[in-house]
Structure 1
Amino acid sequence: MTAPSLYAAIDLGSNSFHLVVMRSDGTHLQSVECKRELVRLAAGVDADTGKLTREARNRALRCLTHFRDALHQVPTENITAVGTSAFRRLVGDVRFLHQAETALGQPIRILSGEDEARYIYRGVSQGRDENARRFVLDIGGGSTEIIVGQGRQSEVVASLDLGCVTLTSEFLSDDRLTDAHLAACEAMVDEQIASVRDRFVGVQWDDVMGASGSIKAVSWALSNLGLIHNGVIERDQLDRLHPVLTQAESQQQLSQLLELNPRRIAVFAAGYIILQRVFHAFDLTSMRISHQAIREGLIDEMVEPALQKSALG
């Protein structure tokens, strides 16, 4: 019997950095270690220069150094690190990219939005019905991915250049949210969705999955308000949450109303708006939560050749 192997995936997102270490016995994957640090990289990118602020740079490098310490038991060939939306914006900061790879001790591959979407779909679909047609949504800090596929194969993908961090910075940074704030944000989201909607015309799906911290936060908020009881997000209940965003006098009060961590509430409204507008644009009625996403997709890609080799004997 083949000895279990360790695999690690590092996902350097626009809002948080994640590290997952998993063990493969040739048949199953088992989680060994998970780390997450709130870095808010997208909020630290200067739109004019494409460079990071000193504070964001220091947060990122400190996190990557911590991650490096957790990788010493994983074979180098079984480690993959990717940068997503915020890294795509860092075209003018080559120095930071070098510093990041040095701090992590690994090369960092910068994914296109569509490649990011394909890995997300692959991760969400891992271990699920191979025949089901699936709609998958992931709301990140700097981009939003929409994917439809069958089994583990994505077919139609779209990556929107907006996320909960970037939308918050542009429209929802005031302590008290107003209808005007929300309307401006919604108009931007609707415009972006409309630009890719034609790709999905005539495409069918049986299942709808959401895979991101923003979507999980909405599910938790709905549960805390007593609007849902099984974690599944329903459109009618989702719409009922909308007026709560402007009823709160401050972000702190909103955090208390929804019983959510203050750090999550800072970008909650933007994530909620993206989710709600996607529900309406694609006529979704409900969405289940996936606890698998891009990191599991990255590991699945590394493990697959080993499984194929094992199957061949």
Structure 2
Amino acid sequence: MKYASIDIGTNSCRLMIAEIENGGFKVLYRDMKTTRIGAGLSSSGQISPEAAERTLQCLGRFQDAISRKGVADYLIVATSAVREAANRAWFEELCRLRLHKEVKVISGEEEAHLTYKGVQKSLLLDRPLLVADLGGGSTELIYSQEDLYVRSLPLGAVKGAEIQITERQIMDILEEIKEVKVRFSDAALVFCGGTATSAVAMKYGMIDYDSSLVHGQRLKKAEVQQCYDSLLNMPLEKRKNIRGLQTERADIIVYGLMIMLNLMRVLEKDWAVVSESDLLEGLIWEMDELKSPKSASS
């Protein structure tokens, strides 16, 4: 069965088309465009008409791709930026009128659970997973053992860049994690999101991004620190020419790495695994389970 999922993130819109057959997951097509719907949100509290238009044009292109691939079942979800925007209802109505499709605005907790599902189905590790989905506007944390822990933190690369967040501010937000970190002492820390995947791509100097080479890679805290230090005072124009870093991400990468690094410090993790699989895969697995409840319960 073919499915498609679309994520309207703070920094970018992403599309995945995949097929699930006999429990196997095969990616047929993926696309991504930096639309930055969260631009200016930190100061205005609103999605700007320009950001909405960029996003809608991208979503229309994604719908064309879904139609060409002959996919009937697909979902569009929106995360941090849209759920925080004061004019969220206006944007949702705009999507209904232009796309003839409902956009589901999911909570931070829903986002965390779906992301965890996408990661857990694709990574085989010999220990429990603590998944950190570091996005443009928020960071979702989920530890799905008997002792369930789910948090959505107001830390993201785009938001951090807009308010020029400091290390002290990040550590203040992460204060609550310090109190419970002992619960995660045996867990493998897994990062999702563009900051983490970019860190791997930069580490290997990828000219052409290869998701299969990124997925499952380990990043040492020392490597994240080295990457952060090298980019911190580098002029933006020079950053744009770094192998493995998308030009559109050059202005926010330092803030993403700062969040990533401080989270590793607070959790006392010397390394983390990077997952290419995340919310998009989780949505597709969820759709398949709703279609085939027997297979989901087996």
Aligned residue in 2 for 1:139: 134
Distance 2:296 2:109 in 1: 30
CA contact (8 A) 2:10 2:158 kept: yes
Residues 223-273 of structure 1: CA distance to partner in whole angstroms, max 9, x if unpaired? 349xxx99421012222333323442x111233456633212111101110
State the partner residue of 1:179: none
Name the stretch that deviates more: 214-223 or 6-15: 214-223
Structure 1 gap ranges (5+): 172-183
Find out whether 1:278 has 2:256 as its counterpart.
no
> Alpha-carbon deviation of 1:191?
1.1
Partner of 1:236: 222
Shift of 1:97: 1.5
CA shift for structure 1 position 200: 4.0
Deviates most, 194-203 or 158-167 = 194-203
Asked if 2 retains the 8 angstrom alpha-carbon contact of 1:221 and 1:258, the reply is yes
1:14 counterpart SS class: coil
* Change in CA separation of 1:33 and 1:146 when aligned onto 2, cut-off 3 Å: same
1-structure distance, mates of 2:20, 2:229 = 46
Identity of paired residues, percent? Answer: 25
- Code of the residue aligned with 2:55 in structure 1: it is A
| Cα distance in 1 between the residues matched to 2:186 and 2:71 | 38
More deviation in 38-47 or 289-298? Answer: 38-47
TM-score by length of 1: 0.83
**Residues 1:86 and 2:81 aligned together:** yes
Give SS of 1:81's match: strand
Task: Quote how far apart the aligned CAs of 1:214 are.
Answer: 0.8
Identify if the C-alpha distance between structure 1 residues 312 and 191 changes in structure 2 by more than 3 Å, giving closer, same or farther. Answer: closer
Residue from 193, 205, 222 that aligns with 1:212:
193
Within a 5 Å distance, the mapping from 1:113-152 to structure 2 comes to 113-129=108-124, 132-150=127-145
Tell me the TM-score normalised to structure 2 length.
Answer: 0.87
Q: By how many angstroms is 1:65 displaced? A: 1.3
Deviation at 1:301, TM superposition (A): 1.0
Measure, in 2, the Cα distance between the counterparts of 1:60 and 1:286.
35
- 5 Å-filtered alignment, 1:1-313, equals 5-45=1-41, 47-48=43-44, 50-72=45-67, 73-75=70-72, 78-129=73-124, 132-150=127-145, 155-171=148-164, 185-224=166-205, 231-248=217-234, 250-256=235-241, 260-309=245-294
Tell me the secondary structure at the aligned position of residue 209 of structure 1: strand
- Aligned-pair RMSD on alpha carbons? 2.7
Structure 1 CA distance, aligned partners of 2:232 and 2:59?
Answer: 37
Partners of 1:149 and 1:258 in 2: CA distance: 35
Q: Which has the larger radius of gyration?
A: 1
Q: Is the 8 A contact 1:39 1:59 kept in 2?
A: yes
